[in-house]
Amino acid sequence: MFGANGTGDTSGYGGLVRSTLNSGSSERPYGSYFDDVADNLERAYPDFSDAIERVVVDRGELTLHIKAEKLVEVALILRNDLKFEMCGGVSGVHYPEQTGRELHAVYPLLSLTNNQRIRLEVSVPDGNAHIPSLVEVWAGNNWHERETFDMFGIIFDGHPGLTRILMPDDWQGHPQRKDYALGGIAIEYKGATTPAPDERRSYR
């Protein structure tokens, strides 16, 4: 659009730059309060090195990549010992090119006591998309986990009522995954019918 090439910028402004993501762990010192969080978690949780796959600091954010089977244990330590009292829900992400780690769940945490923010991230394979529910740790995650299940197909084991929350119960597929087909669904609205995208009139 507007002649932008290679930057991912479709606004026409031309000021956006495509950045290279670092898939490995960040090296210490992490900076800010991030070193304190990592040190305190390691002291409070003896299995730290076994539970944390990597620690990434990027764009001023600390992300702890957690093994799915250790998620509840780490979350309880963060809530009870490190005072991360609030979880801002869970968001799903679909990376079809990451074989064996296609589906990600991301949890933003806030410590009201210490005025600190971090993120947790869990990766699971598309064929076995099971992550433990954190509703018993942070009750506010209830509807967020249902939405992530609905949109991405991640199954939150132990959730008190894991059903669709946006789409009808008999809906096929998960609409926010990148392999989900776009368009072509007939929709009735007040007696009118919306045709598939390739059948609509052009306004050019």
Distance, in Å, from the CA atom of 78 to the CA atom of 37, rounded to the nearest integer, reads 9
Q: Is the pLDDT of residue 1 over 50?
A: no
Nearest one of 198, 170, 173, 172 to 184, comparing CA atoms: 198
**132 or 196, which is more confident:** 132
113-130 pLDDT, tens digit per residue, is 999 999 999 999 999 999
Q: Which domains does the chain have, with CATH numbers?
A: 34-177 (3.30.460.80)
Cis peptide before 29 (omega within 30 of 0): yes
**7 or 139, which is more confident:** 139
CB within 8 A of 15, min separation 6: which ones? 9
DSSP sequence for 41-72: HHHH-TTHHHHEEEEEEETTEEEEEE-GGGHH
Q: Is the pLDDT of residue 60 over 60?
A: yes
Distance, in Å, from the CA atom of 65 to the CA atom of 9, rounded to the nearest integer, reads 29
What mean pLDDT is predicted for residues 196-201?
Answer: 67
Local confidence band at 203 (pLDDT 50, 70, 90 cut-offs): low
CB 137 within 8 A of CB 87: yes
CB within 8 A of 47, min separation 6: which ones? 70, 73
Q: Phi and psi dihedrals of 153, rounded to 5?
A: 85, 15
In terms of Cβ atoms closer than 10 Å to its own Cβ (0-12, 13-18, 19+), residue 185 is exposed
pLDDT at 25: 87
pLDDT at 120: 98
Distance, in Å, from the CA atom of 41 to the CA atom of 50, rounded to the nearest integer, reads 13
Q: Tokens 């249902």 correspond to what residue?
A: 146
Instruction: Break the chain down into helix, strand, coil percent, rounded to 5.
Output: 25, 25, 55
CB 94 within 8 A of CB 178: yes
pLDDT at 141: 97
Q: C-alpha distances in angstroms, 137 versus 14, 134, 196?
A: 44, 5, 44
Helix, strand or coil, per DSSP, at residue 18? coil
68-82 pLDDT, tens digit per residue, is 999 999 999 999 999
